[in-house]
Structure 1
Amino acid sequence: MALLEREEPLASLAACGDEARLGQGRLVLVAGEAGVGKSALVERFTAGLTGTRCYLGACDGLFTPRPLGAFLDIAGQLGGEPAELAGRFDASAAREELFALLLGELGAPGGLRAVVVEDIHWADEATLDLLRFLARRIGSLPVLLVATYRDDELTASYPLRTALGDLAVQRCTRRVDLAPLSAAAVAALSAGSGLDAAELYRVTGGNAFYVTETLRTGLDQVPRSAVDAVLARVAGLGPGARDVLHAAALIGSVVEPWLLEQAADCPPSTVDELVDRGLLTADGAVLRFRHEIARRAVAQEIPAHRQPAIHARLLAALLAAGSTDHARLAFHAEAAGDDPATLEHATLAGRHAAELGSHQEAAAQFERALRVAHGEPSAVLADRYYALASELSVIDSWDAAAAAYERALSLWRAAGDPLREGDVLCRLSSTFWRLCRGREASNASEAAVRVLEPLGPSAELARAYASVAADLARQARFAETMALARRAETLAASLGAFGVQANTLNLQAWAGVGLGEDWEPPLHQALDITLSHGMAYEAGHIYTNLHEINCAEHRYAASEPHYLAGVAHCEEHDLGVYLTCLHGVRTSTLDRLGRWDEAVALAKVGLAMTVSSPVNRMIPQGTLGRILTRRGAAGAWPYLDQAMAAADGTGDPEYVVPMRLSRAEAHWLAGDLAAAHRDAVLAGLAADGTYPWLRGEAAVWIRRTGRSPIPAGEIAAPYRMELDGDWRGAAKAHDDLGCPYDAALVLLSSGEEEALRQALDVCQDLGAVATARLVRRTMRRLGIRSIPVGQRAATRRDPAGLTRREREVLALICAGRTDAEIAAELFISAKTASHHVSAVLGKLGVSNRRAAADQA
């Protein structure tokens, strides 16, 4: 059938292919609803390629997928070392080896390579990791990577939504969106069919698959759905052929002829009949349904009482053939009602997925195993729940993790194993903290120590000491934290418990911040330990803290490389919990740096995740609440209330103080000074004895909103200057840090006309409507005349939303100036210049100065 209204997408693919031939590799994301014609488009495009080696892989949506299944198929087509590795790929084969081999083979001399990966909406995390891996590296290779997915079935849940966001920002990425056919196109396709074109369009909605199926069956024979269109054709089959088709539908999107013949006990001629009728299509050595909708339609027709027998035959055939695809075997075993086989293969599939970093799949397989793990000893069941909880914690699904850990705890107590009981109490402590259940977290860590100390030295005891030390740090008892963390480190190091040792070094860093000591060496030592011992999860934790402590100390330029390295690490290893945490802290950093549009966009992405711990949602909630408040927009308070509730649940001043001050600012901007002062005082109480930056910010808000005494203790320099009346020094200090809004608040307190006008300029550039309104009221009260009204017209007109200052910076970027030269020319600090450059690149959606200059 002709491809109508696809000239533009085909031209886009062709352009990407031409660029890839020149060594500018491209990743093309082809999106559209089920049946819109993504596969047909890609097939037409690849069929027209000359001098190109094409490889095809597809993700399967029938069962919990085999990790990297699509790319293992592609590796087999490549031949050589990739094919050899694919043939023996299991838990013993490192996925990094496959990644490197695929990249090397695709980038080898010999012209353009085109790789098509279909249906990534069913991809496992390891496959998505490999897509990210390739997207970051093919930019200088003659490689065209095409990935198709259904955007009508795409939810906000992790992992594909996150992966698409990550892939979209790669320079090599292009996107092709396929829309349904127009009424005119449907009329053209139906010309000569005798069908009413308007009715055909109404029934199908322009979906190419629906149109095709209905044209073959006729409007008078089918209801208004593709399912009925498929089943109308199935009805013409004899009983034997229908049984074979049923078996094919339960095999999956890709059907191996040998498996179909064995499972259905049929001759090849019956399979040929299905191909002749168009129900199955030949694709090299395998068969496929013409569309997944067709497969589902057939599967739904199979009587429920007959399905277990078909799955049992499929399981037997796969086992007889020596299959080691445990994910596939587990699916068929469970559907067949074979509990022992389900238990065996789901367990193996879960372990394999975990070793490959596909933690979503691992959790799904461990849950499958637990559904059939009847009558096992308490200790064995406890291990199963513990393994499940560990995977759930990695993917940031902490409610479910808590339930699994609690079940493991009761089972180990029943089994009389105090060592494992103490260990799971430690895990529960960190889990409760992630759920903002601070008091329960403290109780669990203290209970772990009570259980483990009588047993003598152990890695579990070292972990329990670290857990108690973490609780002490949250109470700002930094000297006690340091002492206990060092005790735990000594014990962990003596036992070779490197992961625990790294965690104790992390705690020493936080205590060092509170004690005014050099906190960086412990963290870098911890990172070296985790990376050298292949501890991906623990390394993700350290990267997160390197970023977070630098941000807490307002060292934003220093935080940047740790953020980027941490994100790359977490993406590579499917560490959803720390990836979400990094992005959350990043939103507050972008807020401080005045990059509010980026902060809002990133916060919304984080909050769109359906699986995210309350502690990881809290920071983007606070960021959104603050920015919406400053912009005078509706909807700020629900975010502020949710963030405050979560912060109070942790009991951690690091979170309580910023969230309490966010509320104080919101009340202040609304003119409710009493409520603002009340929240500021509560923030001051929470900040007492903590970090100088927290104490300082709380102190200036107490002064800004009322006249209560300022909490004693060391206060960070910019805030101390403001409290001492040196508003010029304080504003410059904030500006040197690259924090324009903080500087504007200081200028607002000055009472001088020039400073107030500068504050108004900053607020208008940022779009801080509510704050600008307060500045104008102050200016009018002081009798200042000629007060500007509204956002700068130049900013409103700028197509990229650049402020006046950012346009000046962009002009200097185009002139080839460095950050230092920009700073000198504009009379600003080098850090501020660097932040302005980053903001310009972000608003233009580019990754470097040259691209910004080209776009300018």
Structure 2
Amino acid sequence: MPDRPILERERELAELASATRAAAEGTGSVVLVFGEAGIGKSSLLQTARSVLPAEGRLLVGYCDDLSTPRPFGPLRDLVGAVGAGLARALDASDRTRAPDALRAELDRPGQPTVLAVEDAHWADEATLDVLQFLVRRITALPAVLILTYRDDELGPEHPLHRLLGLASRTPGTRRLPLQKLSTSAVRRLTEQSALDPDDVYAVTAGNPFFVTEVVAAGGARKVPPTIADAVRGRVAGLPEASREALEQLAVLPSGVERWLLDPLLRDRPERPGNADRMHVLAAAEQHGLLTVTPQRVAFRHELARRAVADALPAARRMHYNRRVLRALVEHTEWDLSRIVHHAAEAGDTDAIVRYAPAAATEASRTGAHREAAAHLRLALTLRTRFPDDALAGLFEAYAVECYTLGQAGPALPAQQEAVALRRTLGDKAKLGTALRWLARIGWWANERPTAERAAEEGVKILRDAGEPALLAMAQSSLAQLHMLANRNEESVALAAEAVTVARSVDDPALLSHALNNWATAGWRIGDPDAEARLVESLRVALDAGETDHACRAYVNLVWSLIEDRRWDDADRYLTESIGYADGTEFVGFLAYLLVARGLVYLATGRWDEAVAVVEPAFDAQPAARWGALTVRGRIAVRRGLPEADDLIDQARQIAERMDEPLRIGPVAAARAEAAWLRGDRAAVTAVAAPAYDRLAGDPRDPVLPELYLWLAKAGAAPTGTPPPGRPPPGRPPPGQPPAGQATPPTGAPPTGRATPPAWTEPYVAQARGDWALAAEGFTELGCPYECAQALADSDDPDDLLAALSVLDGLGAEPLGRRVRARLRDVGVTRIPRGPTDTTRDNPAGLTERQLTVLRMVAEGLTNAQIAERLVVSTRTVDTHVGAVLDKFGVRNRRDAVAHAVTLGIVPGQSR
């Protein structure tokens, strides 16, 4: 069998199997297997052994790319596997005896033979004569003749054409053109690696050899040596003029349009005789290196282009790039991005200074922020060539592009450079604006003191600048920092003032920004108009095409809904907003939104999905990375995973540096829960008490009730009124009866348990010992783990068993062990074992993502629904499902789920 998996060759193997069955019955045939180099002809032949009948045999001979081919080259490879008659004829190089000897060798009734001649396009004349003899007689033999060849290397005069023409007139001949792999197959080949399958497909065009070599090399940043050697071997066989033309084309990263091809290949005095510019490309096309159409010329594979370009000496590469640059600049329609690329490759600094800033502006305008940042980064390497005002603008633009891409590291120093330059230029409006951006980027980079100072200075400077809109935006930015620090009243006051200015000057960017801050801060203090105001902020930004403000409105809207435990509403906006941020290439906010979805999944018990969806945010800016660490760390704590402490500690470090209740509370709750699961009450108090005191000034803080619970479990419940929490949608505030219901009378003692208020915060109910009310509340909120955690406080075996079922389904082993201990304490003898060690170690060998997909299949979700949850394409899910079926050795999803139940890796199953 081949060393690598052979994919998407089922039809070809079926044809070979059919041909061998016919040969076993006495009817031979010819099979033509053809395609470009690396397409998998040899792999197909190796796999063909699996379709041979037990009594059959496979003989393979190889043609070699020699300047003088050896006579009978591929037939000589058979010596040792064939009879003495053929061996003697070949040893004597007897062209008269060899054909008959070969026919006799193949004429073995009851033992069908597959004779494969590899790379027949290199066959010598003697071999071709023998094969022509054999083809005329093949149908009367119990044999299959397979010829493999590269059809793209057959010129009109190639000697193989005669043999192929004869074969095409032979009854039963099968033609098997091998196609490139689909993107789905490439995904399967790359699924065990860290490579992006779409990137691998882009550079290999689905060529199986290229794909497997790139995977083996761990990527295509550098062309794998095996591919480079293969390409250079082909180039070496080209005429000098064709080699030079190929080298010229290799410095162009994409195909070459006809208008550009003409000036690059036009006649030059030092090289006469090249009047037909396209003629010099014919040899490269015939060698399978180029694809030539009337409109354009391109390398057949990107890796082949890179191999040729990488082999060029630096001086020659620069020369070729200078020629491309000149042709691009002389063209009537400028392609700024291509101009800048070739200017950089040619080392033309004048061209870089002239064109890079304009190329960045154009790229940013079209939403290509990575390209814009790259152009600006290149221009800034020549910073001394720009006047100070222009240089400050370049730094500002670069900082904003990096901010957009979520790259806080380079964004902050760039904006600081811009501010330093603006201070020397005396323009208050531009300095104030630069300081406002420094405040935003400083916060993004987790430098709150820098952000606070810049925001306050920006407001102060812009008060004297005579620009009301700029001042209002600076005030709104300061309001934003107040809001993030839970200084909500100060935020509302500043933001409301900015909204008034925005409406008076009709500035949608300012209006969206200020409405956002006003609404988010107002939401936290119970403003009934906050949600409508935040939705208005979003719509204003979307209508005006203000991507930054739209993404921030999405984030704050989703986050506020999550704090109110409105999971469905949040998830609905998340589907919309993730697509928007991804489509506009706003990577920084995309990471934030993925974390928000992870928080929804964490709360609602979809933990595997939560772990998967936050993964991209681990490389994001600190605020988003904090969220990813918190989500994954919390799940690790609840599952008792060894990385739990490290994840939570990393989140703690970010939270302490950001110094915001929004970050401090969730981390403290996670650390307190971890300590409680370890049985360390002193650690629970040490962690939860300072955080509770810090957050207690805002009774509506969403984490405060959970901290109250942990302190109560540690025997250190805070005195005074417990935090009220936030009721779910449609429920009245704590102590207020539902609409239309009278307040319960007071005075007479209640019978049984006291009638609860319309809504009691479940964490507080549990802290007071009312685990049943807490479980009801958590069920209403849709939080299965928290419900099981409340039930775990019961003494009723049925409650404990119900909790255990949920915990085992989630993989929450630490709390599951506690519940099992309580079951033993109350006298239960038949306790479910729970997931075994084998289950935890994943006996099927599935990847983490495959396991996630399998569990969603078990939920009854379609591949399209799974793709939506995981924020991937449906085709990607198809690939994962196919891999699970392969590893399980089953044919359909139902059987896969049944097998998973047997293994105990489907949630909700006890063993």
Scaled by the length of structure 2, the TM-score of the pair is 0.64
Answer yes or no: is 1:599 the counterpart of 2:643.
no
What amino acid is aligned across from residue 697 of structure 2 in structure 1? Answer: G
| Shift in Å, 1:766 | 1.1
What amino acid is aligned across from residue 628 of structure 2 in structure 1? Answer: P
The residue that corresponds to 1:348 in the other structure is 358
The residue that corresponds to 2:652 in the other structure is 644
| Shift in Å, 1:548 | 1.1
Answer yes or no: is 1:529 the counterpart of 2:540.
yes
Cα distance in 2 for partners of 1:5, 1:785 equals: 50
Answer yes or no: is 1:589 the counterpart of 2:589.
no
Aligned 8 A contact 2:210 2:227 in 1: no
The residue that corresponds to 1:545 in the other structure is 556
The residue that corresponds to 2:815 in the other structure is 771
Cα distance in 2 for partners of 1:686, 1:704 equals: 19
- Per-residue CA deviation, residues 91-124 of structure 1 (Å, 9 max, x unaligned), is xxxxxxxxxxxxxxxxxxxxxxxxxxxxxxxxxx
Aligned 8 A contact 2:509 2:549 in 1: yes
Answer yes or no: is 1:8 the counterpart of 2:8.
yes
Aligned 8 A contact 1:244 1:260 in 2: no
Cα distance in 2 for partners of 1:259, 1:508 equals: 55
Cα distance in 2 for partners of 1:371, 1:461 equals: 33
Matches within 5 A, 1:338-377: 338-377=348-387
- Distance 1:737-1:164 versus aligned 2 partners, 3 A rule: farther
Cα distance in 2 for partners of 1:385, 1:492 equals: 27
The residue that corresponds to 1:291 in the other structure is 301
- Distance 1:767-1:413 versus aligned 2 partners, 3 A rule: same
| Shift in Å, 1:511 | 1.8
- Distance 1:349-1:486 versus aligned 2 partners, 3 A rule: same
The residue that corresponds to 2:82 in the other structure is none
- Per-residue CA deviation, residues 315-364 of structure 1 (Å, 9 max, x unaligned), is 11222232421111111122223223223322222222211111111111
| Shift in Å, 1:838 | 8.7
The residue that corresponds to 2:279 in the other structure is 272
Match of 2:799 among 734, 746, 755: 755
The residue that corresponds to 1:626 in the other structure is 634
What amino acid is aligned across from residue 275 of structure 1 in structure 2? Answer: A
Aligned 8 A contact 1:275 1:282 in 2: no
Match of 1:615 among 623, 631, 638: 623
Aligned 8 A contact 2:245 2:280 in 1: no
Greater mean alpha carbon deviation, residues 587-596 or residues 243-252: 243-252
Match of 2:571 among 538, 556, 560: 560
Aligned length in residues = 659
Aligned 8 A contact 2:598 2:610 in 1: yes
The residue that corresponds to 1:788 in the other structure is 832
Cα distance in 2 for partners of 1:733, 1:399 equals: 43
Matches within 5 A, 1:173-184: 180=209
- Distance 1:710-1:781 versus aligned 2 partners, 3 A rule: farther
Match of 1:657 among 650, 654, 665: 665
SS in 1 for 2:561: helix
Greater mean alpha carbon deviation, residues 356-365 or residues 468-477: 468-477
| Shift in Å, 1:735 | 0.6
Cα distance in 1 for partners of 2:422, 2:521 equals: 34
SS in 2 for 1:360: helix
- Per-residue CA deviation, residues 396-427 of structure 1 (Å, 9 max, x unaligned), is 11111112111111111121222222212221
Matches within 5 A, 1:654-733: 654-690=662-698, 691-710=700-719, 714-716=723-725, 717-733=761-777
The residue that corresponds to 1:67 in the other structure is none
The residue that corresponds to 2:246 in the other structure is 245
Answer yes or no: is 1:577 the counterpart of 2:621.
no
The residue that corresponds to 2:478 in the other structure is 468
Cα distance in 1 for partners of 2:520, 2:373 equals: 32
- Per-residue CA deviation, residues 544-596 of structure 1 (Å, 9 max, x unaligned), is 22111101111112212111111121122122112111110111110110111
SS in 2 for 1:8: coil
SS in 2 for 1:693: coil
The residue that corresponds to 2:736 in the other structure is none
- Per-residue CA deviation, residues 506-559 of structure 1 (Å, 9 max, x unaligned), is 112222222222220111111221122121221111112211110111111221
| Shift in Å, 1:616 | 0.6
What amino acid is aligned across from residue 603 of structure 2 in structure 1? Answer: R
Greater mean alpha carbon deviation, residues 229-238 or residues 512-521: 229-238
| Shift in Å, 1:459 | 2.4
The residue that corresponds to 1:170 in the other structure is none
Cα distance in 2 for partners of 1:359, 1:204 equals: 28
What amino acid is aligned across from residue 227 of structure 2 in structure 1? Answer: A
Aligned 8 A contact 2:609 2:869 in 1: no
- Distance 1:793-1:294 versus aligned 2 partners, 3 A rule: closer
The residue that corresponds to 1:27 in the other structure is none
- Distance 1:341-1:35 versus aligned 2 partners, 3 A rule: farther
| Shift in Å, 1:704 | 1.9
- Structure of greater Rg: 2
| Shift in Å, 1:773 | 0.9
Higher relative CO (Cα under 8 Å, sequence separation at least 6) belongs to 1
Cα distance in 2 for partners of 1:37, 1:478 equals: 64
Aligned 8 A contact 2:435 2:457 in 1: yes
Cα distance in 2 for partners of 1:529, 1:326 equals: 32
Aligned 8 A contact 1:253 1:295 in 2: no
- Per-residue CA deviation, residues 352-383 of structure 1 (Å, 9 max, x unaligned), is 22111111111111212222343322111111
Matches within 5 A, 1:140-179: none
Percent of residue pairs bearing the same amino acid type: 29
Cα distance in 2 for partners of 1:559, 1:699 equals: 26
What amino acid is aligned across from residue 630 of structure 1 in structure 2? Answer: R
SS in 2 for 1:252: coil
Matches within 5 A, 1:117-128: none
Q: Which runs of 5+ in 1 are unaligned?
A: 15-33, 42-144, 168-175, 183-200, 214-222, 815-833
- Distance 1:149-1:802 versus aligned 2 partners, 3 A rule: closer
Cα distance in 2 for partners of 1:7, 1:260 equals: 37
Matches within 5 A, 1:75-474: 180=209, 225-235=226-236, 241-256=242-257, 259-266=260-267, 267-269=274-276, 271-277=278-284, 278=286, 280-285=289-294, 286-474=296-484
Cα distance in 1 for partners of 2:662, 2:465 equals: 35
Cα distance in 2 for partners of 1:596, 1:204 equals: 33
- Distance 1:697-1:346 versus aligned 2 partners, 3 A rule: same
Greater mean alpha carbon deviation, residues 778-787 or residues 359-368: 778-787
- Per-residue CA deviation, residues 66-101 of structure 1 (Å, 9 max, x unaligned), is xxxxxxxxxxxxxxxxxxxxxxxxxxxxxxxxxxxx
Greater mean alpha carbon deviation, residues 591-600 or residues 147-156: 147-156
What amino acid is aligned across from residue 575 of structure 1 in structure 2? Answer: F
Aligned 8 A contact 1:241 1:270 in 2: no
Cα distance in 1 for partners of 2:857, 2:407 equals: 43
The residue that corresponds to 2:886 in the other structure is none
Aligned 8 A contact 1:591 1:599 in 2: yes
Q: Which runs of 5+ in 2 are unaligned?
A: 15-35, 44-180, 268-273, 726-760, 845-849, 879-891, 898-911
Scaled by the length of structure 1, the TM-score of the pair is 0.68
SS in 2 for 1:288: strand
Larger helix proportion, structure 1 or 2?
Answer: 1
SS in 2 for 1:455: coil
| Shift in Å, 1:261 | 4.4
Aligned 8 A contact 1:765 1:795 in 2: no
SS in 2 for 1:312: helix
What amino acid is aligned across from residue 395 of structure 2 in structure 1? Answer: Y
- Per-residue CA deviation, residues 429-486 of structure 1 (Å, 9 max, x unaligned), is 2222222222222222122222222324432221221222223223333222211211
- Per-residue CA deviation, residues 659-689 of structure 1 (Å, 9 max, x unaligned), is 1111111122122221122111122123222
The residue that corresponds to 1:488 in the other structure is 498
SS in 1 for 2:585: coil
The residue that corresponds to 2:176 in the other structure is none
What amino acid is aligned across from residue 586 of structure 1 in structure 2? Answer: R
The residue that corresponds to 1:72 in the other structure is none
Cα distance in 1 for partners of 2:625, 2:230 equals: 45
What amino acid is aligned across from residue 688 of structure 2 in structure 1? Answer: A
